[in-house]
Chains A and B, each alone.
Chain A
Amino acid sequence: MADTIGRDEGLKVVTAPKFRKIPKGKVRKHVIDLIVQNEHGVLSRIVTLIAGKGYNIESLSVGETHEKGLSRMTIVVEGDQRVIEQVVKQLRRLISTIKVRDLTDLPHIERELLLVKVNLGSQRAKDEVFRLAQIFGGKIVDVSPSSYTIELSGDGSKISTFIELVKPFGIKEMIRTGKIALKRDFSEAEEEG
Chain B
Amino acid sequence: MAKERRGADIVIEVLQTEGVDLVFGVPGGAIMEVYDALFSSDIVHILARHEQGAGHMAEGYAAASGKVGVAFSTSGPGATNLVTAIADAYMDSRPLVFITGQVPTGLIGNDAFQEVDMVGITRPITKHNFLVKSVEELPLKLRQAFYIARTGRPGPVVVDIPKDVTQHKSTVDIPSDREVVESLPGYKPHYKGNIQQIKKAVELIVASQRPVLYVGGGAVYADAQKELVELAEMLQIPVTTTTQGKGAFPETHPLSLQMLGMHGTYYANMAVYHADLLIAVGARFDDRVTGKIDEFAPEAKIIHIDIDPASISKTINVDVPIVGDAKLILKKLLAELKKRKVKVLYPVQRKKWLEQIEYWKKNYPLSYDWSDEVIKPQYVIEVIYKITKGEATIVPGVGQHQMWAAMFYRYSYPRQFINSGGLGTMGFGLPAGIGAKLGRPDREVWVIDGDGSFQMTMQEIITAVQYKVPIKVAILNNGFLGMVRQWQELFYERRYSETCFGVQPDFVKLIEAMGGVAFRATKPDEVPQVIQKAREINDRPVVIDFWVDKEENVFPMVPAGKSYRDMIVKKPKGKPKADTKYLVG
Which A residues form the contact surface with B (CB < 8 A)?
1-7, 9-11, 14, 17-22, 36-37, 40-41, 44-45, 48-49, 52, 82, 85-86, 89-90, 92-98
Which B residues form the contact surface with A (CB < 8 A)?
119-120, 123-124, 127-128, 131, 133, 148, 184-187, 266, 270, 273-274, 293-299, 308-310, 312-317, 356, 359-360, 364, 490, 563-573
Contact A96 B186 (CB under 8 A): yes
* Docked complex Cα distance between A41 and B130 (Å): 9
Contact A95 B184 (CB under 8 A): yes
With beta carbons under 8 angstroms apart, the residue of A10, A20, A22, A45 that contacts B123 is A45
Contact B567 A4 (CB under 8 A): yes
Contact B356 A20 (CB under 8 A): no
Of chain B, the residue at the smallest CB distance from A97 is B186
Kindly list chain A residues whose C-beta atoms are within 8 Å of the C-beta of B310: 86, 89-90, 92-93
11 additional A-B residue pairs with CB within 8 Å, beyond A3-B571, A9-B359, A44-B123: A1-B572, A2-B568, A3-B568, A18-B298, A22-B313, A22-B316, A41-B119, A49-B123, A93-B308, A95-B184, A98-B185
Contact B314 A86 (CB under 8 A): yes
How many inter-chain residue pairs (CB < 8 Å) link A and B? 106
Contact A6 B299 (CB under 8 A): no
* Docked complex Cα distance between A82 and B568 (Å): 33
Kindly list chain A residues whose C-beta atoms are within 8 Å of the C-beta of B364: 5
Kindly list chain B residues whose C-beta atoms are within 8 Å of the C-beta of A95: 127-128, 148, 184, 186-187
Contact B273 A14 (CB under 8 A): yes
* Docked complex Cα distance between A18 and B302 (Å): 13
* Docked complex Cα distance between A3 and B567 (Å): 8
* Docked complex Cα distance between A95 and B120 (Å): 16
With beta carbons under 8 angstroms apart, the residue of A6, A40, A82 that contacts B131 is A40
Kindly list chain B residues whose C-beta atoms are within 8 Å of the C-beta of A3: 568-573
CB distance from A21 to the nearest CB of B (A): 5
Kindly list chain B residues whose C-beta atoms are within 8 Å of the C-beta of A89: 309-310, 312
* Docked complex Cα distance between A163 and B128 (Å): 43
Kindly list chain A residues whose C-beta atoms are within 8 Å of the C-beta of B148: 95
Contact A92 B299 (CB under 8 A): no
With beta carbons under 8 angstroms apart, the residue of A2, A37, A44 that contacts B490 is A2
Interface centre among B119, B360, B565, B566 (most CB of A within 10 A): B565
CB distance from A107 to the nearest CB of B (A): 25
Of chain B, the residue at the smallest CB distance from A23 is B317
Kindly list chain B residues whose C-beta atoms are within 8 Å of the C-beta of A98: 185-186
CB distance from B138 to the nearest CB of A (A): 14
CB distance from A154 to the nearest CB of B (A): 32
Of chain B, the residue at the smallest CB distance from A99 is B186
* Docked complex Cα distance between A58 and B266 (Å): 47
* Docked complex Cα distance between A9 and B270 (Å): 9
CB distance from A7 to the nearest CB of B (A): 6
* Docked complex Cα distance between A132 and B18 (Å): 66
Kindly list chain B residues whose C-beta atoms are within 8 Å of the C-beta of A4: 565-569
Contact B359 A22 (CB under 8 A): no
CB distance from A40 to the nearest CB of B (A): 6
Kindly list chain A residues whose C-beta atoms are within 8 Å of the C-beta of B293: 20-21
Contact A10 B359 (CB under 8 A): yes
Known: A18-B298, A19-B294, A95-B128. A5 touches B567 (CB 8 A): yes
5 chain-A/chain-B pairs, Cβ below 8 angstroms: A6-B566, A17-B295, A22-B315, A40-B131, A93-B309
Kindly list chain B residues whose C-beta atoms are within 8 Å of the C-beta of A40: 131, 133
* Docked complex Cα distance between A89 and B284 (Å): 15
Known: A9-B359, A93-B308, A98-B185. A48 touches B123 (CB 8 A): yes
Contact B356 A11 (CB under 8 A): yes
Kindly list chain A residues whose C-beta atoms are within 8 Å of the C-beta of B120: 41, 44
Contact B567 A6 (CB under 8 A): yes
Kindly list chain B residues whose C-beta atoms are within 8 Å of the C-beta of A85: 313
Contact B274 A11 (CB under 8 A): yes
Kindly list chain A residues whose C-beta atoms are within 8 Å of the C-beta of B571: 3
CB distance from B349 to the nearest CB of A (A): 11
Known: A37-B186, A93-B309. A48 touches B568 (CB 8 A): no
* Docked complex Cα distance between A37 and B297 (Å): 42
Kindly list chain A residues whose C-beta atoms are within 8 Å of the C-beta of B186: 36-37, 94-98
Contact B313 A2 (CB under 8 A): no
Of chain B, the residue at the smallest CB distance from A89 is B310
CB distance from B306 to the nearest CB of A (A): 12
By Cβ-Cβ distance, the 10 closest A-B pairs, closest first, are A17-B298, A6-B565, A89-B310, A98-B186, A2-B568, A95-B128, A21-B293, A17-B295, A3-B570, A52-B124
CB distance from B557 to the nearest CB of A (A): 9
Kindly list chain A residues whose C-beta atoms are within 8 Å of the C-beta of B360: 9
Of chain B, the residue at the smallest CB distance from A91 is B310
Known: A3-B570, A6-B565, A97-B186. A41 touches B294 (CB 8 A): no
Kindly list chain B residues whose C-beta atoms are within 8 Å of the C-beta of A22: 313, 315-317
Kindly list chain B residues whose C-beta atoms are within 8 Å of the C-beta of A10: 356, 359
Interface centre among A89, A92, A94, A97 (most CB of B within 10 A): A89
* Docked complex Cα distance between A85 and B295 (Å): 23
Of chain B, the residue at the smallest CB distance from A10 is B356
* Docked complex Cα distance between A17 and B297 (Å): 9
Contact B309 A2 (CB under 8 A): no
Of chain A, the residue at the smallest CB distance from B569 is A5
Contact B565 A7 (CB under 8 A): yes
Interface centre among A1, A20, A89 (most CB of B within 10 A): A20
CB distance from B321 to the nearest CB of A (A): 11
Kindly list chain B residues whose C-beta atoms are within 8 Å of the C-beta of A2: 490, 568, 572
